[in-house]
């Protein structure tokens, strides 16, 4: 069975009446949800493949949104027969990301106000991102968001990246909150599938780079992050 079909099957087995389930924690994705970093990611990947004389399109980039850098680099290495290891490609990408973050990350509308209001409402907050820890901490430090999160999990710290549920399950475990009582905020289909496979409710807030994606399994569709507040 294809990976997405397996995840969808898992999701259907975990369907529940969410009106009967009270959220105790909110788990946020980072790129495209809290930070307008998708353009940074595209530029970092474009620079990386340009080292090998290759072009990189928005269409190709859309395939990797929500995935870990290493998973993306493994695909690119195999697709284009690149001579360096996937780990080396990932290092090139991370260098490009950190260089852009140093110039100043761009917070999404509602950051940090929405996070502060959710936390003030008594909810536990976690961050679960496919990005590397160095990239996560660089963004959180630059935007002074770190103190708002009780747990921060990178997709590089778990066995499988999104669309597998591992990163969200790890975040829930660190908070000590059952998955059914977690609400995930995501902007990509890979993230949505990961949240649903984890048995969690998911609110999608697509960014400019993911608005075309299929979010049919989402429990809530938001136009901007502040739309989250009435759900809680």
Whole-angstrom Cα distance, residue 55 to residue 40?
Answer: 16
Segment 114-121 long-range contacts (CB within 8 Å, at least 24 positions apart): 114/225, 114/226, 114/228, 114/229, 115/28, 115/34, 115/145, 115/148, 116/148, 117/229, 118/26, 118/228, 118/229, 118/232, 119/148, 121/232
Segment 67-70 long-range contacts (CB within 8 Å, at least 24 positions apart): 67/130, 67/155, 67/161, 67/162, 67/190, 68/130, 68/155, 68/156, 68/161, 68/162, 69/93, 69/94, 69/130, 69/131, 69/132, 69/156, 70/156, 70/161
Taking only Cα atoms into account, the Rg of the chain, rounded to an integer number of angstroms, comes to: 17
In degrees rounded to 5, what are phi and psi of residue 228? -70, -35
29 is catalytic: yes
Question: Which residue out of 29, 31, 166, 187 is catalytically annotated?
Answer: 29
Give the Cβ contact number of residue 213 at 10 Å. 17
Q: Which residues are catalytic?
A: 29
């Amino acid at each position: 069975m294809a990976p997405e079909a397996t995840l969808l099957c898992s999701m259907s087995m975990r369907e529940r009446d969410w009106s009967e389930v009270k959220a105790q924690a909110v788990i946020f994705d980072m790129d495209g949800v809290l930070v307008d970093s998708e353009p940074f990611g595209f530029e970092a990947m474009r620079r990386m493949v340009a080292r090998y004389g290759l072009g990189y399109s928005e269409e190709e980039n859309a395939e990797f949104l929500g995935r870990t850098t290493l998973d993306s680099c493994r695909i690119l290495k195999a697709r284009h027969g690149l001579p360096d290891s996937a780990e080396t490609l990932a290092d090139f990408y991370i260098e490009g990301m950190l260089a852009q973050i140093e110039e100043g990350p761009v917070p999404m509308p509602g950051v940090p106000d929405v996070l502060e209001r959710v936390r003030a409402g008594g909810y536990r907050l976690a961050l679960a991102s496919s990005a590397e820890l160095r990239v996560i901490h660089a963004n959180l430090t630059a935007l002074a968001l770190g103190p708002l999160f009780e747990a921060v999990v990178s997709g590089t710290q778990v066995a499988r990246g999104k669309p597998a549920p591992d990163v969200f399950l790890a975040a829930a475990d660190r908070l000590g909150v059952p998955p059914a009582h977690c609400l995930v905020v995501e902007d990509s289909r890979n993230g949505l599938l990961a949240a649903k496979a984890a048995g969690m409710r998911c609110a999608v807030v697509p960014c400019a780079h993911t608005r075309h994606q299929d979010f049919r399994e989402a429990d809530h569709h938001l136009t901007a992050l502040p739309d989250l507040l009435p759900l809680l």
